[in-house]
């Protein structure tokens, strides 16, 4: 008779050793995958922060390249209701890379800066953040921190409002910002005119409604933008400080300006 030999012990140990080895490989690969995902996450975050860095640092070097263009022809005007509304200055600044800024400024009875309106058409230069410029003028010597203050409607569409973070003392002022993609135009500025937020909203809306185009140069999209805006323009209050109708003065903190869009 033939007798079956017993399986050698080392034969039974091989499958269990292979299983253990495969488990270790899978565990190692899982850990490597987790480490790789974490590194990719931190790497992406680092790239994002690095890309944001120029926006925070471009202000000073960019400002040094702007120069007053005294021979440039005015491209815009702000229609006036009376002589009290006449801007103290209308200045044009140009950048070597092609950017242009048209700046209107007003002062109050004490000859302090009271309002400003900037029309910025970027060229090839690094575009400085509008909020940084507004904050520096509304909060000189402060933390230059702004907070959202709602929106208003204007002939150019919705306009974002900004104000310095509340603190004791100082004047109450309100900034505004409107970015248009086509054409590439940024309209921004601020006002300290008016007692309280509703009056300053009205002052900004009136300022924008009075802004007109004198010449578009070689930019037909700019002419088209102002032509469409004029169709939505509403009249400001009669001469004097901006007046408000009682139907929205007593309303919410973020009323909508009158007039069709």
* Whether the predicted pLDDT of 57 surpasses 60: no
More confident residue, 145 or 69: 69
Q: Do residues 102 and 229 both lie within one domain?
A: yes
More confident residue, 4 or 176: 176
Q: Do residues 188 and 132 both lie within one domain?
A: yes
How distant is the alpha carbon of residue 66 from its chain centre? 20
More confident residue, 83 or 127: 127
CA distance readout (Å), 196 to 83, 138, 151, 156: 24, 15, 16, 24
pLDDT digit string (tens) for 157-175? 999 999 888 665 666 889 9
CA distance readout (Å), 99 to 93, 139, 261: 8, 26, 30
Q: Whole-number mean pLDDT of the chain?
A: 76
Contact 232, 258 (CB under 8 A): no
Q: Is 176 exposed, middle or buried (0-12, 13-18, 19+ CB in 10 A)?
A: buried
Q: Do residues 120 and 193 both lie within one domain?
A: yes
pLDDT band of 59, cuts 50, 70, 90: very low
Q: Do residues 81 and 17 both lie within one domain?
A: no
**Which tokens in the block code for residue 45?**
């975050």
Q: Is residue 255 part of a domain?
A: no
Relative to beta strand 211-213, strand 185-191 is unpaired
Q: Do residues 184 and 145 both lie within one domain?
A: yes
Instruction: Mean pLDDT check: name the lowest of 12-16, 45-49, 84-88.
Output: 45-49
Question: Domain of 50?
Answer: 11-57
Q: Do residues 212 and 151 both lie within one domain?
A: yes
Q: Is residue 198 part of a domain?
A: yes
pLDDT digit string (tens) for 85-122? 566 789 999 999 999 999 999 988 888 888 999 999 99
Q: Is residue 1 part of a domain?
A: no
More confident residue, 182 or 244: 182
Q: Do residues 222 and 125 both lie within one domain?
A: yes
Q: Do residues 19 and 117 both lie within one domain?
A: no
Q: Is residue 113 part of a domain?
A: yes
Q: Is residue 249 part of a domain?
A: no
Q: Is residue 253 part of a domain?
A: no
More confident residue, 128 or 99: 99
The 3-state DSSP class for residue 34 equals helix
Give the whole-angstrom CA distance, residue 245 versus residue 250: 9
Q: Do residues 26 and 99 both lie within one domain?
A: no
Q: Is residue 251 part of a domain?
A: no
What are the residues whose beta carbons fall under 8 Å from the beta carbon of 140, sequence distance 6 or more?
none
Structural domain count, the chain: 2
Q: Do residues 204 and 227 both lie within one domain?
A: yes
Q: Do residues 78 and 43 both lie within one domain?
A: no
The 3-state DSSP class for residue 224 equals helix
- Residue 70, CB-side half-sphere exposure with 13 Å CA sphere: 0
Q: Is residue 78 part of a domain?
A: yes
**Which tokens in the block code for residue 117?**
């309106």
pLDDT band of 187, cuts 50, 70, 90: very high
Element (H, E) at 216: none
Q: Do residues 24 and 144 both lie within one domain?
A: no
**Which residue blocks in the chain are alpha helix, DSSP H?**
9-57, 59-64, 130-138, 197-210, 220-231, 246-249
Residue recorded with tokens 């002939």: 155
* Whether the predicted pLDDT of 220 surpasses 70: yes
**Which tokens in the block code for residue 88?**
């103290």
């Amino acid at each position: 008779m033939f007798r079956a030999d017993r399986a050698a012990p080392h034969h039974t140990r091989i499958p269990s050793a292979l299983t253990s080895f495969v488990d270790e490989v899978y565990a190692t690969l899982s850990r490597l995958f987790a480490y790789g995902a974490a590194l990719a996450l931190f790497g992406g975050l680092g790239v994002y922060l690095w890309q944001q860095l120029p926006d925070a640092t471009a202000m000073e070097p960019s400002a040094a390249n702007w120069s007053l263009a005294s021979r440039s022809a005015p491209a815009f005007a702000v229609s006036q209701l009376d002589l009290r509304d006449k801007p103290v200055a209308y200045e044009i600044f140009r950048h070597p890379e092609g950017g242009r800024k048209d700046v209107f400024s007003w002062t109050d009875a004490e000859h302090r800066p009271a309002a400003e309106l900037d029309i910025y058409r970027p060229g090839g230069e690094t575009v400085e953040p509008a909020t940084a410029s507004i904050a520096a003028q509304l909060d000189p010597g402060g933390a230059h921190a702004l907070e959202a203050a709602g929106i208003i409607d204007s002939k150019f569409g919705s306009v974002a409002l900004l104000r310095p973070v509340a603190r004791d003392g100082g004047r109450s002022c309100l900034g505004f910002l409107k970015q248009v993609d086509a054409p590439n135009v940024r309209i921004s500025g601020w006002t300290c005119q008016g007692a309280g937020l509703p009056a300053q909203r009205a002052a900004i809306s009136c300022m924008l409604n009075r802004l007109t185009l004198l010449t578009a140069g070689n930019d037909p999209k700019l002419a088209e933008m102002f032509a469409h805006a004029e169709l939505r323009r509403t009249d400001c209050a009669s001469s004097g400080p901006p007046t408000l109708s009682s139907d929205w003065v007593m309303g919410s903190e973020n009323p909508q300006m009158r007039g069709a869009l």
